Structure 1
Amino acid sequence: MLAGLCVLLATALFPAPVSADNPIIQTLFTADPAPMVHNGTVYLYTSHDEDEARNFVMRDWRLYTSTDMVNWTDHGAVASLKTFPWARQDNDAWAPQVIARGGKFYLYVPISVAGSPKNVLAVAVADTPYGPFKDALGHALIPPGNDNIDPTVAIDGDGQAYLYWGNPDLWRVKLNPDMISTSGPAVKMPRLTDYQEGPWFYRRAGHYYMAFASTCCPEGIGYAMSDHATGPWQYKGSIMDHDKRSSGNHPGIIDYKGHSYVFGFNYRFNDAQTREHRERRSVTVTEFHYNPDGTIPMQPWWDTIGAKQLGTINPFRRVEAETIAWTSASDTSASGAHNWAPGVRTAKSAGGMYVTHVLDGGYIVVRGVDFGTGAGKSFDATVAAAAGGSTIDLRLDSLTGPRVATLAVPATGGAETWRSETTPLARTRGVHDVFLVFHGKPGADLFNFDAWQIGTGRGKPRASR
């Protein structure tokens, strides 16, 4: 799938190690980013475009987390259409948002009801931000309506929660403290200049913001501001201009560790695979700085270099294999031609997420890994393989950088029969980008990969499952 990202992108794969690569998720097509900051972690909820999509084909909602804005850990689907058994089950898992309140986490989504041409808004609840989310009502929170897509929610300083949504009109309703019922009627807002859909409502430094996908098509990102959570909203201009490279857009804006970020999506990976416009999108991010008066300056169109890294990865603790800054795998024929071959993916089992569909020549990049003063003695990995003969090379800073370890992956007894393997590590100091490069029989699914760690020689690694 996306991990076979090709030679056309090769010059953009390896910017300075202090920055992320855009798009930030490469193992699936993702869209409609809904970031939430909670207890020092960014929780990024997304919708998910299926590989076969030409128009919108969306069946679940995914979660990725980061503490450095560069390496993102895949937690899989936290909810799906099955969460709402009364909804249409084959499609229409559209843009989500999650908010925390009172020790619970509330997921708001637009879905379709079987037999109805109109969307509803639904709500699910979980005890942790990782889910699983469960249907809170057994029916719609907002009943069928033509404009019922793209919910966004925030809680004002006085504790009042507001839900906004809509395309092409913007609607608002008050939520009760239980976050699963409304107070008073839904209010249709006066039309905002350049508004289309995808609203993102938030409060910051005494200002209220309404960012949105601007008039289709193509869509940019615009925004409005107000002195009150209920408006009136004053259009302030574009955060990102309309651009023919993207028929759609969807903003998500947060502050994290003293920095401000806007998320959105583009079609870079789809366009790398085909000239056909297909609704297969990829989440992106960029850092920006508010003006002194609280307005947002215009940002350039999504580039290949995302946010700067905040902090480093500690390799002396377990690192999930699905913690990824970038991943790619492409088959190369004898003639040198590159095929758009599937590469690294992630999968979920009873034991959690792991990396699968590993191909010869594929790799995972983890940026900003701090080896400290060189105390590491071994490279340890938890793997599962039906057949042996594959290896993982650990290289520093590039695909051709110093190889400091090579771990042999044996037959473990099955694709989910996990074993921890270890191999010596050459003396490695300081902060490096780690390239985990996979080798084995060309064209074969080589093995599954659960986690890795740098050992200090003080104990034998143990299987994690």
Structure 2
Amino acid sequence: MKKQFLSILLPLLAGAGAQAQNPFITNQFTADPSARVFNNRVYVYPSHDIKCGPGQGRPNWFCMEDYHVFSSDNLTDWTDHGVIVSQDKTNWTAPTAYSMWAPDCVYRNGKYYFYFPAPAKDTTKGRGFSIGVAIADKPEGPFTPQPEPMANVRGIDPNVFIDKDGQAYMYWAQGNLYMAKLKENMLELDGEPVVIANMPTQGLKEGPWLFERGGKYYLTYPHVRNKTESLEYAMGNTPMGPFTVTGVIMDESPTGCWTNHQSIMEYNKQWYLFYHNNDLSPRFDKNRSIRIDSLFFEPDGTIRKVIPTLRGAGLTKATNPIQIDRYSHISPGGASIAFLDTTNTFGGWKTVFQNTDGWVQYNSVDFGSQPLKTLQARVVSATGATLQVRLNSVKGPVVAEVPVKSGNQWQVVTAPVKGKPAGVQNLVVTLKGQGSCEVDWLQLAL
């Protein structure tokens, strides 16, 4: 029965692909997340990295052939609504370019407008990227691409902002950052493109994303100041500036991921930064994964720098698998994180406890109000060990002690829950006594 249980459960866990932790999509590569709130639900429109095969775009470069959309009402459980636009089903795009880069989506007059850059198959009007629009009645589609790209727009990374007075604007990148008003039909520019002034003159700039808060307009963008992209912003009093370069939202990636790409939105009175890193592809940063972290403002309206976390945002139900490798805090020694399978990074990570000095803390677990009776853990230990789970600190109340028999195979072990944990609390996991142990996930049950 245990083998049968494992054979059913493990594929479900590996294929879920949508979690509360960073990265929050783990069954495919995703990048450049544009996050929007529609009907009190968060929709994320990322680009979709794939591993290039023969004849698929430029070797050892970005390779993207379509777009998915993901949604959530709690920033924890994400639904993949599938492909919404692809290069081989759009009239004007080059069907073998594999360069469908960063998109955006907005709502206007009962329709959803999805903006996406791609090389056109008709190069008589010039090479490089054009920007197309696909239209839908629902935020998840189905989307119908317009037969031709937008006129008088050349570049990448479209972002559309609709101001409180109803005027729509579009921002994009092509060496410089550009902006223009949009006509009411959302398909045409209302005037000539304008180069956004006062931006940094050195280093690559791309991915503009504009939002408004408290009457101030924030123009955010990735910028290569050194070797890789940091996320920066400028502030102005109108959607078209003038803007003043103000600060850094996120420093360069500590893993050396060359790109980053952001969107910022407010949901249930909290602001969030969506971005990407190369978590699932540490040796090839053209395959990226999208992340989310909370964002805060200082009293003067400036943005507090975001320190990227593995924990991400949202609550994790105690009765769902808890991936403690996406920790909030980790001990200086005695604990580490590794891939479960280096040949299949989509399988996720494990936490390795080498000794009793090691611990990990995983924040914001919702225990609910009903008594929880058991805790399960998927574990393996060559030496045999006892896994200890506490609340809030390494000296907090013990939730469970999980005895792990020695062996070389993963096993799911069940232990009784001690006390009556309830509400939202943090978990701290460590070892009791001697030995070592590897942990895939924890899960509590009623």
TM-score computed with the length of structure 2 as normaliser:
0.66
> 1:325/1:256 Cα in 2 relative to 1: closer, same or farther (>3 Å)?
farther
Partner-residue secondary structure (3-state), 2:48: strand
Instruction: Supply the distance in 1 between the matched residues of 2:301 and 2:68 (Cα, whole angstroms).
Output: 32
Instruction: Supply the distance in 2 between the matched residues of 1:41 and 1:327 (Cα, whole angstroms).
Output: 27
2:240 aligned to which of 209, 214, 230: 230
> 1:341/1:220 Cα in 2 relative to 1: closer, same or farther (>3 Å)?
same
1:24 aligned residue: 24
Matched, 1:248 2:259: yes
Instruction: Supply the distance in 1 between the matched residues of 2:213 and 2:75 (Cα, whole angstroms).
Output: 20
1:81 aligned to which of 79, 83, 87: 87
Matched, 1:219 2:225: no
Instruction: Supply the distance in 1 between the matched residues of 2:76 and 2:324 (Cα, whole angstroms).
Output: 9
Matched, 1:373 2:370: yes
Superposed, 1:129-144 pairs within 5 Å as 129-135=139-145, 137-143=146-152
2:133 aligned residue: 123
Matched, 1:260 2:271: yes
Which structure carries more relative contact order (alpha carbon 8 Å, separation 6+)?
1
1:47 aligned residue: 47
> 1:395/1:236 Cα in 2 relative to 1: closer, same or farther (>3 Å)?
same
Contact 1:20 1:325 in 2 (8 A): no
Name the aligned partner's letter for residue 113 of structure 1. A
1:10 aligned residue: none
1:169 aligned residue: 176
1:380 aligned residue: none
> 1:20/1:173 Cα in 2 relative to 1: closer, same or farther (>3 Å)?
same
Residue 171 of structure 1: how far off its partner (Å): 1.1
Name the aligned partner's letter for residue 258 of structure 1. K
> 1:134/1:313 Cα in 2 relative to 1: closer, same or farther (>3 Å)?
farther
> 1:341/1:246 Cα in 2 relative to 1: closer, same or farther (>3 Å)?
closer
Residue 313 of structure 1: how far off its partner (Å): 6.2
Name the aligned partner's letter for residue 250 of structure 1. H
2:312 aligned residue: 306
Contact 1:54 1:280 in 2 (8 A): no
Residue 20 of structure 1: how far off its partner (Å): 3.8
Contact 1:54 1:278 in 2 (8 A): no
Name the aligned partner's letter for residue 140 of structure 1. P
Task: Extract unaligned runs of 5+ from structure 2.
Answer: 1-18, 53-58, 327-338, 348-363, 381-386, 390-399, 401-415, 426-444
Partner-residue secondary structure (3-state), 1:25: coil
Report the more deviating stretch, 221-230 or 288-297: 288-297
Superposed, 1:31-110 pairs within 5 Å as 31-52=31-52, 54-90=60-96, 91-110=98-117
Partner-residue secondary structure (3-state), 1:82: helix
Instruction: Supply the distance in 2 between the matched residues of 1:84 and 1:394 (Cα, whole angstroms).
Output: 50
Name the aligned partner's letter for residue 32 of structure 2. D
Superposed, 1:177-326 pairs within 5 Å as 177-193=184-200, 196-215=205-224, 217-243=227-253, 245-271=256-282, 274=283, 277-300=284-307, 302-307=308-313, 309=314
Partner-residue secondary structure (3-state), 1:174: strand
Contact 1:24 1:325 in 2 (8 A): no
1:334 aligned residue: none
> 1:174/1:325 Cα in 2 relative to 1: closer, same or farther (>3 Å)?
farther
Q: Quote the sequence identity (%).
A: 30
Contact 1:71 1:325 in 2 (8 A): no
Contact 2:253 2:277 in 1 (8 A): no
Residue 190 of structure 1: how far off its partner (Å): 1.9
Deviations 1:293-312 (A, max 9, x none): 21112222x232212x2x67
Aligned-residue RMSD, C-alpha: 3.9
Contact 1:397 1:432 in 2 (8 A): no
Contact 1:55 1:278 in 2 (8 A): no
> 1:230/1:344 Cα in 2 relative to 1: closer, same or farther (>3 Å)?
closer
Partner-residue secondary structure (3-state), 1:27: coil
2:165 aligned residue: 158
Partner-residue secondary structure (3-state), 2:206: strand
Deviations 1:4-32 (A, max 9, x none): xxxxxxxxxxxxxxx94211211111000
Contact 1:327 1:344 in 2 (8 A): no
Name the aligned partner's letter for residue 72 of structure 2. S
Instruction: Supply the distance in 2 between the matched residues of 1:54 and 1:212 (Cα, whole angstroms).
Output: 25
Contact 1:312 1:368 in 2 (8 A): yes
> 1:54/1:180 Cα in 2 relative to 1: closer, same or farther (>3 Å)?
same
TM-score computed with the length of structure 1 as normaliser:
0.64
> 1:325/1:178 Cα in 2 relative to 1: closer, same or farther (>3 Å)?
farther
Instruction: Supply the distance in 1 between the matched residues of 2:423 and 2:378 (Cα, whole angstroms).
Output: 9
Contact 1:122 1:142 in 2 (8 A): no
Residue 394 of structure 1: how far off its partner (Å): 9.4
Partner-residue secondary structure (3-state), 1:254: strand
Residue 85 of structure 1: how far off its partner (Å): 2.1
Instruction: Supply the distance in 2 between the matched residues of 1:48 and 1:258 (Cα, whole angstroms).
Output: 29
Contact 2:280 2:346 in 1 (8 A): no
Instruction: Supply the distance in 2 between the matched residues of 1:138 and 1:314 (Cα, whole angstroms).
Output: 48
Partner-residue secondary structure (3-state), 1:62: strand
Deviations 1:216-269 (A, max 9, x none): 640000000100111111100211123462211111101111111111111122
Name the aligned partner's letter for residue 28 of structure 1. Q
1:360 aligned residue: none
Residue 172 of structure 1: how far off its partner (Å): 1.1
> 1:129/1:368 Cα in 2 relative to 1: closer, same or farther (>3 Å)?
farther
> 1:29/1:183 Cα in 2 relative to 1: closer, same or farther (>3 Å)?
same
